Structure 1
Amino acid sequence: MIPAGSGGRNRPIEHASFYAALPLIDDFERLSDTANFTALPEDWLIGVSDIEGSTAEIAKGRYKAVNMVGAAVISAQMNAMDGQPFPFVFGGDGATFAIWPEQARAAADAMRAVQRWALDEYGITLRAALVPVRDIRAAGLRIAVARYRVSDGVDYAMFHGGGASWAEQALKDGIYGFDPAPSGVRPDLTGLSCRWAPQSARNDMILSLVVVPVPGASARLYAQVAAEIVTLAQTLDRGGHPVPRDGPAMQWPPEGVALEARAQRRSGTLLRQRAGILFQTFMAWLLTRTGWTVGGFDARRYNRAVAGNSDFRKWDDGLKMTLDCDNETSKRIEALLAHYHDRGILRYGLHRQDSAIMTCIVPSIMRNDHIHFVDGAAGGYTAAATAMKVQG
């Protein structure tokens, strides 16, 4: 969640306060119970985005750029919302969010600007659209949301009901969609960063997992299976959290400096933007190594907060997890999924890799509301979803 701030801009309070008023859920296992989700208002809209040809981009070794573009969709919306809380989910090669009707124009402008930026800076084609909740309901689907608190400073939205997936497929089918903004238009991506080194698996692998219900299957049985998967993951150290408790690995210079420079450049040259990022990251590296504090900033405390704020598991019309996993637990999870796939209850995709990566949105290093999206470093959720499609 983005903490509520000033600047309601005359938005109706019933819209602006809907998401903020939802109860915070601290236990991830409770999210397998659909009673903990609340239906979105009928006049809201769902923002969906997807990178065209993301599998080919991964094959080129550009998954960090793919993640950056996916997170940019959320970053641009956060900056367009003036601090108002709204639900969003990061999906690896795209993102999903929900907004009320008075925010629709600003949301569309932000999405179109990200489309232009992704095309101009990375040669990546980003599909994007706003889909009315009314259309989702007319298709016989539900879209509901919950708030999962990962730390005192951050909570993340979870989506349920199949509506978000339907909207994404409608985007891919060309039913909805925006054209990119005109050449030269850039999104406000303040806070978007890509500074951490890949997080090597402490166990045998980083396991990316996507599990969705089969339409018409028993919702009760699917929820039971999903809860069992979460329970299996809980046997791992810190529930399989891929980011160490004291914070992610650091290296200098960071791998993502060129990506971040392209995200933050509003004017001036890439070289100048890159130099600024290199200086900032060197100072962070130095403060972490020495334990010194500067101006009240404690780098080691910040790094621990990064670990606590990271989003490594979610509900997004199904269960998605990025786990630091051992071989035995991986086999148990796959055997369970295969069994219920054969019974027609669910579809699943798994992808194993050596490390995880993070893409971050940091409004201020002096606050605790920074958010960190975790994905596998060699395909992650996108590869797992592709494996699910192949599996059928």
Structure 2
Amino acid sequence: MTTDTFYASLPKVRDFSALSDPSVFAPLPGDWLLCCTDIVNSTGLVKAGRYKTVNMVGAAVIAAMRNALEGEAFPYVFGGDGASFAVPPGRRGTTQRVLGSLRSWTDAEYGVSLRAAVLPVSRIRAEGLDAQVARYAASEHADFAMFSGGGLAWAEAQMKAGAFEVAPAPQAPPPDLAGLSCRWSNTPARHGIILSVVAHPAPGASLQDFAGLAAELLEFAAELEDSGHPVPESGPRLRFPPEGLTLEAKASRGRLPLFLRQLYLLGHCAFAALLLLSKRPAGSFDPVHYLSMLRAHSDFRKFDDGLKMTLDCTPAIRDRIRHRLERAAAEGLVQFGLHEQDAAMVTCIVPSPVEDDHIHFVDGAAGGYTQAAANLAAAFVSGRKTA
């Protein structure tokens, strides 16, 4: 294994609960680059009702990098209001071009300010932290990266402070966002609550002790129907015209006039909706199989320097999760934030509807991870003032 093929050579973990064990994570090579993005004032955008836009921009980072790397495997994680990823050193130029283009594009198309930073993994280790990754196989055709070690959270804090910045590139061509879409309507909770959970190890806490807590939380979630998966077997809701039509048109229009791209997508969505509603194959597209893969390839839980989950949750399990986290916080083990809403949303990257490599990012529909993280930050500041 060379440093460039590090991630492609990682063994895939097929049991999600095994990811609570720190030993399944491998350290990123020291010459790799850790890259992170997030949206300025995402909490304000949530309050203004623009969380679908927030999710779209976060997923756009991943879509643009996947397209730029032309199928090369690399670790990435969707965070709701941004995304983080790692690349080998030979991809520095590509990464900086893509991120610079994205910063200008999101501002021009959506009026959203995107931060971006790139830094070497060795810089994280110089701070006494680490950046470790595992590869979770959602199926034979798609997998998701998981991060651990505290380095990603430190890098994000540095980015918000203005360090390691990738500057906007207003003269760059629009990023290639082929495959990015947000056509699905919000998916209502079937068991009372869509619960967004963000839990990070507290400063100085043992990663092994946090792993034990994460395993407990996953056991609680396992008592829910389908472990709390918020996407039903029938798939998300589909309305016509799609709520995210204009967002998708802006992401895929290139230099076309917006209304022409909207008209094209309107016809395309109408045809796709008929196929999905009929449940009958058309050519090489099987709508029933597609929906089953959509559900299997949805990232409703992840390790991202901590544990994040979007759960279709009962009030009873919500209370057990909250009480266990409150007890762990009192013991100095965890910092956490929760947010409740009545629906989940799905943002998709579908290179081809007839292939099985499509992936789907799940978040709460009314603030989700962004609001849960804001609640975590508020609780941390309150705790410091009390201390």
Greater than 4 Å deviation, 4+ residue runs = none
Aligned with 1:228: secondary structure?
Answer: helix
1:208-262 deviation per Cα after TM superposition (whole angstroms, max 9, x unaligned)? 0000001212322211111000000000011000001232221111100000000
What is the CA–CA distance in structure 2 between the aligned matches of 1:318 and 1:81, rounded to whole Å?
27
Is 1:195 matched with 2:183? yes
Matches of 2:255 and 2:288, distance apart in 1:
32
Q: Deviations over 1:102-139 (max 9, x none)?
A: 11100110011111110001111100011110110101
How many Å separate the matches in 1 of 2:179 and 2:277?
24
Helix, strand or coil at the partner of 1:20 = helix
1:257 matched residue in structure 2: 245
Aligned counterpart, 2:34: 46
Percent identity of paired positions between Structure 1 and Structure 2: 48
CA drift of 1:184 comes to 5.9
Q: How high is the TM-score relative to the length of structure 2?
A: 0.96
Q: Which moved more, 1:310-319 or 1:261-270?
A: 261-270
Q: Deviations over 1:269-328 (max 9, x none)?
A: 111111111111111111122223222111222112111110100000000000000000
292-301 vs 19-28, which deviates more? 292-301
CA–CA separation in structure 2 for the residues paired with 1:148 and 1:44: 20
Q: 1:172-251 alignment to 2 at 5 Å? A: 172-183=160-171, 185-251=173-239
Deviation at 1:267, TM superposition (A): 2.3
Counterpart of 1:380 in structure 2 is: 368
Inter-partner Cα distance in structure 1 for 2:225 and 2:318 = 14
Aligned mates of 2:227, 2:306 — CA distance in 1: 18
For the 8 Å contact 1:245–1:308, the answer to whether it is kept is no
Q: CA deviation at 1:88?
A: 0.1
The Cα offsets for residues 172-230 of structure 1, whole Å up to 9 and x where unpaired, read as: 01111122112463111011111111010001110000000012123222111110000
- Distance in 1 between residues matched to 2:218 and 2:185, nearest whole Å: 27
Q: Does 1:109 align with 2:93?
A: no
- For 1:6, the equivalent position in structure 2 comes to none
Secondary structure of the residue aligned to 1:293 is coil
Matched residue, 1:274: 262
CA distance in 2, matches of 1:92, 1:219: 24
**How far apart, in 2, do the equivalents of 1:142 and 1:333 lie?**
28
TM-score by length of 1: 0.95
The match for 1:3 is none
Q: CA RMSD in A?
A: 1.0
Q: 1:357 aligns with which of 332, 345, 350?
A: 345
1:79 maps to what in 2? 67
Equivalence for 1:9: none
Q: What per-residue deviation string (whole Å, max 9, x for no partner) do you get for residues 326-346 of structure 1?
A: 000000000000001011110
1:322 aligned partner: 310
Alignment-mate amino acid for residue 168 of structure 1:
E
Match of 1:170 in 2: 158
Q: Deviations over 1:71-128 (max 9, x none)?
A: 1111110011011000000000010000001111001100111111100011111000
Q: In structure 2, what residue type is equivalent to 1:104?
A: R
Q: Specify every segment of 5 or more residues in structure 2 that has no aligned partner in the other structure, as ranges.
A: 381-387
* Paired residues of 2:339 and 2:368 also in contact (CA < 8 A): yes
Question: Structure 2 vs 1, CA of residues 318 and 179 (structure 1 numbering), >3 Å: closer, same or farther?
Answer: same
1:68 aligns with 56
Give the whole-Å Cα distance in 2 for the aligned partners of 1:247 and 1:54. Answer: 28
Do the aligned residues in 2 keep the contact of 1:248 with 1:306 (CA within 8 Å)? Answer: no
CA distance in 1, matches of 2:308, 2:328: 17
1:148 maps to a residue whose letter is Y
SS of match in other structure, 1:358: strand
1:95 match: 83
Q: Which moved more, 1:200-209 or 1:267-276?
A: 267-276
Match for 1:230: what amino acid?
L
Separation in 2, partners of 1:16, 1:80:
16
Q: Name whichever of 348-357 and 169-178 sits farther off.
A: 169-178
Amino acid corresponding to residue 131 of structure 1 in structure 2: L
> 2:7 aligns to what?
19
Which deviates further from its counterpart, 213-222 or 371-380? Answer: 213-222
Q: Structure 2: how far apart are the matches of 1:291 and 1:279?
A: 19
Q: How many residues matched?
A: 380
Structure 2 CA distance for aligned equivalents of residues 306 and 113 of structure 1: 29
Cross-structure match for 1:57: 45
The 5 A counterparts of 1:143-162 are 143-162=131-150
Q: Secondary structure at the match of 2:9?
A: coil
1:313 aligns with 2:301: yes
Alignment partners' CA distance in 2, 1:257 and 1:155: 27
Q: Alignment partner of 1:19: what SS?
A: helix
Aligned partner of 1:288 among 263, 273, 276? 276
Classify the secondary structure of the residue corresponding to 2:7: coil
Say whether the 8 Å CA contact 2:58–2:78 is kept in structure 1: yes
Is the 8 Å Cα contact of residues 186 and 346 (structure 2) preserved in structure 1?
A: yes
Letter of the 1:219 partner, please give it.
L
